[in-house]
Chain A
Amino acid sequence: MSRVDVRKTYKLYIGGQFPRSESGRSYPALNSEGEVLARVARASRKDLRDAVRVARGAFEGWAGRTGYNRGQIIYRIAETLEDRAGTFAEQLMETGSTRKQASDEVTASVDRLVWYAGWADKFAQIYGNLNPVSGPFFNISVPEPTGVVGVVAPEQPGLLGLVSSLAPVLVPGNTTVVLASQVAPMPAITFTEVLDTSDVPGGVVNVLTGFKDELIPWLADHMDVNAIDATGATPDQALRIQEGAVHNVKRVVLPGANGPVQSPYRIAAFTETKTVWHPKGL
């Protein structure tokens, strides 16, 4: 008699925990043949608000860590991802990737994380500087994290798209609420297990699965979200994000506006420049 599989329940990732949607809803995630792979949680407005609340709570701690420490944690995500490369490749193949495409996507994701990890203790040296002002003042500009950032992850590629959006947001010390790919959510959910075992403090990354059209308005209008990466938004969804952004002057990063996806300019897009003055004198 063959052994019965133990299936996984695909849940949300909020505050370092894996709750189901408080709404009790789920939706089917399909493979490329249109067959049901699993049911995944369909997050609600309240789930989104919970995620923003814990992201705000985690902000001071994450932003306050040294760049060296954030860099090591992001590098640790890459290590853990590499270790589970096979699992991710299988999941990607279920939604239509060939073995080669799936394996390339996983290794590209690992390499991208390593690349961004190395920026955490360096980007301030590129984007900050001493300003040569005309007077007896010490004057320095430094980039600081913008705050809580909403990430609308691309629908495809399910893993590399998520990693490419997430990494530059985390590097300078932002915390995030991610809306995962709606059509291919499983790599994102499995990726939360990678995050959870890579020393990422609870609440720094929160991942919601569900219907983007339903969740984007709540994210766009939320008064405690400081910026939104709209990379994975359709033009209509991007417009809704821009309209909602007006309520508290959110920064909205549109696809392609800050150079290639692997670029320090993407890190800069989620920072605020602070300039500090002090007189020189005896």
Chain B
Amino acid sequence: MAITRIPTTSHEPLLWEYAQSRETTDIVDIEDRYGLFIDGEFRAPKSRRYFPTINPATEEQLSEVAEAGRSDVDAAVAAARKAFEETWGPMPGAERAKYIFRIARMVQERSRELAVLETLDGGKPIKESRDIDLPLVAGHFFYYAGWADKLEYAFPGIRPRPLGVAGQVIPWNFPLLMLAWKVAPALAAGNTVVLKPAETTPLTALVFAQLTQEAGLPPGVLNIVTGAGETGSYVVSHPDVDKVAFTGSTAVGKVIQNELAGSKKKLTLELGGKGAHLIFEDAPLDQAVEGVINGIFFNQGHVCCAGSRLLVEESVHDRFVDKLKRRLSTLRVGDPMDKNTDVGAINSREQLEKINELVASGRSEGAEMFQPECELPQRGFFFRPTLFTGVSQSHRIAQEEIFGPVLSILSFRTPEEAVEKANNTPYGLSAGVWTSKGSRILWMADRMRAGVVWANTFNKFDPASPFGGYKESGFGREGGRHGLLAYMDLGEE
């Protein structure tokens, strides 16, 4: 392996040439075409329509999947209702638990295969799907499995009941992990599920459906209907769905909240964010650089809780930005299947266009852009890691969610100003703070109006840790004991 050391000045980091180290794809068998998973079997869609799913890193078609129409969704909901009434609903919690534990173990057994498939279909670096997504998927099923026969301890003084049929619509940024966040608590609580994966990343959900067949999960307990927004709309507005859970953009979340007005359906929404990431002058700056990089370039910035607004105390602003630029230049951007890749492919052409549009607005509104020199692959959807300095609060790139590898940098002078600026968006999903002063961490954590606050760390997730937003970032929590509430009926009997 050739390692080249390139002479550096103070602003130019050491650059290393890495030998290619591609993960093998032999482990995955992708079928040419997938049907809908309804009532325990794969079926051709009544709509007779299929759509392609591509690898965003190469733009090559991987497979084609069914587009569920209204009558397909009807069939899925009917199967879920039947399973709720006849098998899953009446089943003792201890037995439900064993199915969910079994699924967790089978995900672990097939985790490499699922990780490779996730990266092929979605574009995220293999090291992330392998080391973060898949372990968390298995962890979620294992965690919630154990709740299935202990629900009365989670809700003291009340008899919690399942809601019935849950309609779930999930995004493309963590396809299988979002499935796990939704399906595991729903099943543990005794509900049955109709789930719609995102149209650009349906494959791991379909392989997961096969896995539940092998696990012997009773037919109808989990139904997967692939399609785009129209299919999702059929799911959430279906009159026989009792609970709707959605993760995605705030704009679509509002459409769903509106569709459900006047219905008795229980709704939880996990929507967008514009997470503030605060750096105080007494922070361990080199560690903070790593935290900031992870906060915005993890998963190409396709993360609703990304630390996309960096607020640096004025006294260390210039020094910190220099360190960031230097670190940015060492990020490896490219083939997601390469085990060394830090920043993979943008999920779709549409998302790439959205990033381009917002980045152009940042430049035209007067912020200063920095991108490292790095070669991007000839094909596929890629975007250079990007910083904007001199950003003001009114800039679109300081207010709107970019959902890409783009960091907007602002500064502050006092902790009060930092809080004021951090909270100055309609969102309230995540926030981060770096300082070595313990009392300041707790003071800041109290004041940041966000559902998750990471102190001296960022973008950490765990099945036992509740996640969800304040304000226009949605309502309800996923993960932990709190995550059960979204799938339980606490109303008067």
Q: Residues of A with Cβ closer than 8 Å to B?
A: 126, 129, 131-135, 137, 139, 141, 146-147, 226, 238-239, 242-243, 245-249, 251, 254, 256-260, 263-265, 272-279
Name the B residues within 8 Å of A133 (CB-CB). 460, 462, 464-465
Binary interface profile of B, 443-461, with partner A (CB < 8 Å = 1, else 0)?
0010000111111110010
Q: What 1/0 flags go to B74-109 for Cβ under 8 Å of A?
A: 000000000000000000000000000000000000
Bound state CA distance, A141 and B471, in angstroms? 17
Measured in the bound complex, the distance between the Cα atoms of B445 and A132 in whole Å is 19
Q: Are B456 and A278 in contact (CB-based, < 8 A)?
A: yes
Query: Which residues of B, 222-272, contact A by the 8 Å Cβ criterion?
Result: 250, 253-254, 257-258, 260-262, 264, 266, 269, 271
The stretch among B170-178, B197-205, B352-360, B477-485 that forms the contact with chain A is B477-485
Pairwise interchain contact A248-B451, C-beta atoms closer than 8 A? no
Closest Cβ of chain A to B433, distance in Å, is 10
Nearest-neighbor residue (CB-CB) of B454 within chain A: A277
Known A141-B480, A248-B471, A274-B451; 6 more pairs at CB < 8 Å: A242-B262, A246-B254, A246-B261, A256-B491, A275-B480, A278-B456
Please name all residues of chain A whose beta carbon is closer than 8 Å to the beta carbon of B260 when the two chains form the complex: 242
CB nearest to A242 among chain B residues: B261
Residues of A within 8 A of B262 (CB): 238-239, 242
Name the CB-closest residue of B to A223.
B426
B139 at the interface (CB under 8 A from A): yes
Closest to A236 in B: B262
Most chain B CB neighbours (cut-off 10 Å) among A249, A264, A274: A249
Distance (whole angstroms) from the CB of B418 to the closest CB of chain A? 16
Interface residue from A226, A274, A275, A279 paired with B456 (Cβ < 8 Å) = A279
Task: Knowing A134-B139, A141-B482, A246-B257, say if A274 contacts B465 (CB, 8 Å).
Answer: no
Residues of B259-290 contacting chain A, CB below 8 A: 260-262, 264, 266, 269, 271
Q: Collect the chain B residues with CB atoms within 8 Å of residue A257's CB.
A: 266, 490-491
Q: Name the residue on A nearest B254 (C-beta).
A: A246
The answer to whether A249 and B269 touch across the interface, beta carbons within 8 angstroms, is: yes
CA A126 – CA B485 in complex, angstroms?
14
The A-contacting residues of B in range 154-169, CB under 8 angstroms, are 156-158
In the complex where A257-B491, A277-B455 touch, is A131 in contact with B464 (Cβ < 8 A)?
Answer: yes
* CB-based contact A273/B464 at 8 Å: no
| Nearest-CB residue, chain A, relative to B257 | A246
Contact A277 B453 (CB under 8 A): yes
Verify A274–B450 contact, CB threshold 8 A: yes
**With an 8 A cutoff between CB atoms, is B472 at the interface?**
yes
Contact present for B460 and A277 (CB under 8 Å): yes
* CB-defined contacts of B156 to chain A, threshold 8 Å: 126
**Contact: B471 with A256, CB < 8 Å?**
no
> Is A249 a contact partner of B466 (Cβ separation < 8 A)?
no
Q: Is B468 an interface residue (CB 8 A)?
A: yes
Interface positions, chain B 328-379, Cβ under 8 Å from A, are: none
The docked-state distance in angstroms from the alpha carbon of A265 to that of B158 is 9
**B452, chain A: closest CB distance, angstroms:** 5
The answer to whether A278 and B455 touch across the interface, beta carbons within 8 angstroms, is yes
CB-nearest residue of chain A to B441: A278
| Given A226-B471, A278-B456, also A265-B490 (CB < 8 A) | yes
Q: Is the CB of B271 within 8 A of A256?
A: no
Q: Which of A131, A137, A260 has the most CB of B within 10 A?
A: A131
Bound CA–CA A274/B470 (angstroms): 9
* Residue from B157, B254, B452 within 8 A of A277 (CB atoms): B452
A132: chain B residues within 8 A (beta carbon): 464
Q: Is the CB of B257 within 8 A of A275?
A: no
Chain A contacts for B445, CB-based, 8 A:
274, 276
Those 9 A-B pairs whose CB atoms lie nearest each other, nearest first: A242-B261, A133-B462, A239-B262, A278-B455, A246-B258, A131-B464, A249-B472, A276-B453, A131-B465
The yes or no answer to B474 lying at the interface (CB within 8 A) is yes
Q: Does B475 contact A (CB under 8 A)?
A: yes
Q: Is A134 a contact partner of B471 (Cβ separation < 8 A)?
A: no
Residue of A nearest to B264 (CB): A254
Would you call B26 an interface residue if the criterion is a C-beta within 8 Å of the partner chain's C-beta atoms?
Answer: no
- B477's nearest neighbour on chain A, judged by CB, is A273
Determine if B32 is an interface residue (Cβ-Cβ < 8 Å): no
- How far, in whole Å, are A256 and B157 apart by their CA atoms in the complex? 16
Say whether, besides A226-B471, A243-B261, A258-B491, A278 and B426 are in contact (CB < 8 Å).
no
**B480: nearest residue on chain A (CB-CB)?**
A131
Q: Say how far A132's CB is from chain B's closest CB, in angstroms.
A: 5
Q: How far is the CA of A239 from the CA of B426 in the complex (A)?
A: 24
Interface centre among A146, A238, A247, A259 (most CB of B within 10 A): A259
Find the B residue at minimum CB distance from A129.
B481
Q: In the complex, A260 Cα to B490 Cα: how many Å?
A: 9
Q: Is the CB of A249 within 8 A of B471?
A: yes
Contacts of B454 in A (CB 8 A): 276-277
Q: Check A239–B456 contact: CB distance below 8 A.
A: no
Give the distance to chain A from B156, nearest Cβ to Cβ, in Å: 8
Give B460's nearest chain A residue, CB to CB.
A277
- Say yes or no: A249 contacts B253, CB within 8 Å: yes
CB distance from B267 to the nearest CB of A (A): 9
> Which residue of B is nearest A268, CB measured?
B485
Residues of A within 8 A of B455 (CB): 276-278
| A54 vs B254: C-alpha distance when bound (angstroms) | 27
| Closest residue of B by beta carbon distance from A265 | B490
**A25–B221 Cα gap in the complex (Å)?**
58
Per a CB cutoff under 8 Å, which of B264, B451, B462 touches A131?
B462
Interface pair A139/B468, CB less than 8 Å apart: no
Interface centre among B262, B456, B474 (most CB of A within 10 A): B262
29 A-B pairs within 8 Å (CB atoms) are namely: A126-B156, A131-B464, A139-B464, A141-B465, A141-B466, A141-B482, A242-B262, A245-B261, A249-B250, A249-B269, A249-B271, A249-B471, A249-B473, A251-B475, A254-B264, A256-B492, A257-B266, A259-B490, A259-B491, A263-B158, A264-B157, A272-B470, A273-B466, A273-B468, A275-B451, A276-B445, A276-B455, A277-B452, A278-B455
- How far, in whole Å, are A133 and B139 apart by their CA atoms in the complex? 10
Q: Within the assembled complex, what's the spacing in Å between the Cα atoms of A188 and B428?
A: 34
The residues of B that contact A242 with a CB separation of less than 8 Å are 257, 260-262
Task: Report the Cα distance A133→B462, complex, angstroms.
Answer: 6
B467 CB within 8 Å of chain A: yes
> Nearest Cβ in chain B — how far from A250, in angstroms?
9
CB of B415 to closest CB in A, whole Å: 15
A72 to chain B, nearest CB (A): 21
Partner pick for A134 among B158, B428, B453, B462, CB 8 A cutoff:
B462
Residue numbers in A under 8 Å from B464 (CB-CB):
131-134, 139
List, in ascending order, chain A residues with CB within 8 A of B266's CB: 257
- Of A146, A226, A245, which contacts B257 at CB under 8 A? A245
Assess whether B462 is in contact with A135, with CB atoms less than 8 Å apart.
yes
Check B491 against A273 for contact (C-beta < 8 Å): no
Which chain B residues border A139 with CB–CB below 8 Å? Answer: 462, 464-465
Q: Are A258 and B490 closer than 8 Å at their CB atoms?
A: yes
Chain B positions within 8 Å of A275 at CB level: 451-453, 465-467, 480
